[in-house]
Amino acid sequence: MNVSKPQTIDDAVLFLTEHPDAKIVAGGTDLLPRINQKLEEHAELCYIDDLPEMCEVRAEQDGSIFVGASIRLAEVAEIKILTKYTGFLQAASKVASPQIRNQATIGGNILQENRCMYFNNQVPWSDVNHCFKWGGKQCFQYKNSKECVALFQSDVAPVLISFGAKAVIRGSEGIREMPVKDLYMQAGLKNLAHNDILLGVKLPPLFKTEYSAYVRKTIRGSFDFPLVSCAVRVCVDANIIKDSRVVFGAAGVMPAELHMSNEVFIGRKIEDLPLLADELQPAVSKIIAPFQDTRINAAVRKDMAKEIFIKAIAQICQGN
């Protein structure tokens, strides 16, 4: 395995353009275990962990905050200007274990591969389960599926989407921005070219009064991927809800947004939030894809989603 380490972003983009098989690696906590498990093979790695532009956190003139993609998840808690982005801090602090959070980057968390026990716990000498991820033509989750339905597992992305964060991307044409939500496509694909590098994310300025929360459900309290997770953000002015966003993670191949939340919440009093949330419960269970694995069935996943939504709302009310 060949590891190249470009010194600048320009070099990195150039390198990736010239090496269409090279795989980007930064913290490595997502990619390297798969390589070790022999689920993936890469002859060429492009190591972009410490490019200066990607290690920055800065307040922009418009009040938004740029967080470099190479910032470690463990560092997020220590960044003062992020203190009020409560949900973001909560999500970053829940990823995996302390050791992994010291190494894993925000960019890597956002762009991590979807997971599925049929693939990630594959036996390399077996061809029983050669699925779409292996370049095969079948899915072991849904026998009739025409594409991969592996589960989206990022803790950080649902929160960023709830804040309306933008991804800042450097490609061969220069720098561009797109909503974080638009990074995700069907079958676990990412809306990025091979030579696109995620420089960081831009969090919009906070509303005057704003509450956010991230709640997730796991089998093991620590060091686990979510069974399902929920990020909620509510903006309030004079006790009246002005804006809201509710996003679920581990809800399917992509983060799932509860678009109805604004219909129900806007213009209502923040005190009424728990009651309003109850109204939304049937809508929650509809947007959770019926993904199931050996540990949890589809019905339970839907029910858990409702439960953590209510928990997140309760946290927001407590913060009020």
Partner 1 sequence: MDELKVIGKPIRRIDGKVKVTGKAVYSDDVILPRTLIAKVLHARYAHAKILRLDTQKAKDLPGVVAVYTAKDIKFNDKYFRMGATRDTWVLAEDYVRYIGDMVAFVVAEDEEIAEKALKLIEVDYEQLPVVATLTDAEAAEHLARGDKPGNVAMPLVVERGDVEKDFAEATVFVSGKYSFPSLHQLHLEPNSATAVYEMGKLTVYCASQVWFHIREDISAVTGIPEKDIEIKPMDIGGAFGARNDQPLPVFTALLATMVKGTVKMTNSRLEEFLACRPSLGMDIEITMAADSEGNFLSKKTKLLSGFGAYSSDSDAVTAIACLRADNNYRFRSVYIEGTGLYLNHAPTAAYRGFGNPQMHFALEQTIDKLAVKLKMDPTELRMKNFMHAHETTIHGFKPQTNGIAECMNKAKELMKWDEKKKNSVKGKGVGVAALIHCSGSRAGKPEFAGSSAHLRLEGSGALTVLIGECEMGQGAKTVFAQIVAEELGVDPQQVNVIMGDTALTPFSTGTNGSKLTINLGNALLHACKDLKRKLTECLRERIGTGPVIVKDGNIYGEYTGEYVMSLEEASARACYARNGQAFLGVGIFEPKADLGDRTGYGNLAPAYPFGIQMAEVTVYDDGSYTVDKLVSVHDIGKVINSQMAYGQLYGGVMQALGSVTMENLSINNEGIYQANTILEYKPPTILEMPEIEGALVETIDPYGPYGAKCIAEPPIIAIAPAVANAIYDACGLRFEQAPITPALVKKKLMQKQRGANAEEEA
First to last CA, the chain: 53
User: Which residues between 238 and 297 bind partner 1 (CB under 8 A)?
Assistant: 293-297
Could you tell me where the DSSP H helices lie in the chain? 9-18, 31-36, 73-76, 86-94, 98-103, 106-111, 117-120, 156-162, 260-265, 273-287, 298-319
Phi, psi of 32 (to 5 degrees): -65, -40
129, 162, 212, 261: which one binds partner 1 (CB under 8 A): 129
Q: Could you give the count of Cα atoms lying within 13 Å of 218 in the half-sphere of its Cβ?
A: 14
Task: Give 102 or 172: the residue with its C-beta nearer to partner 1.
Answer: 102
Q: Could you give the count of Cα atoms lying within 13 Å of 165 in the half-sphere of its Cβ?
A: 30
Q: Least Å distance between CB 45 and partner 1?
A: 18
61, 62, 128, 135: which one binds partner 1 (CB under 8 A): 128
Gap between the Cα atoms of 320 and 100, Å rounded = 32
User: Which residues between 209 and 248 bind partner 1 (CB under 8 A)?
Assistant: 217, 219-224, 227
Provide Rg for the chain, Cα atoms: 20
Q: Does residue 172 belong to the site contacting partner 1 (CB under 8 A)? A: no
Task: Give 91 or 168: the residue with its C-beta nearer to partner 1.
Answer: 91
Q: Least Å distance between CB 42 and partner 1?
A: 16
Q: Does residue 42 belong to the site contacting partner 1 (CB under 8 A)? A: no
- Compute CA distances 131 → 68, 134, 170, 233, whole Å: 35, 5, 32, 37
Q: Least Å distance between CB 303 and partner 1?
A: 6
Interaction mask 106-125, partner 1, x per CB under 8 A: -----------xx-xx-xxx
Q: Does residue 166 belong to the site contacting partner 1 (CB under 8 A)? A: no
Q: Least Å distance between CB 141 and partner 1?
A: 12
The size of the interface with partner 1 (CB under 8 A), counted in residues, is 32
Q: What would the two tokens of residue 291 be?
A: 């993904």
Q: Least Å distance between CB 6 and partner 1?
A: 28
Q: Does residue 318 belong to the site contacting partner 1 (CB under 8 A)? A: no
Surface-to-core class of residue 202, CB atoms within 10 Å of its CB (0-12 exposed, 13-18 middle, 19+ buried): buried
Orientation angle between helical segments 273-287 and 298-319, nearest 10 degrees: 150
Give contact residues for partner 1 (rule: CB under 8 A).
37, 97, 117-118, 120-121, 123-129, 217, 219-224, 227, 293-297, 299-300, 303-304, 307, 311
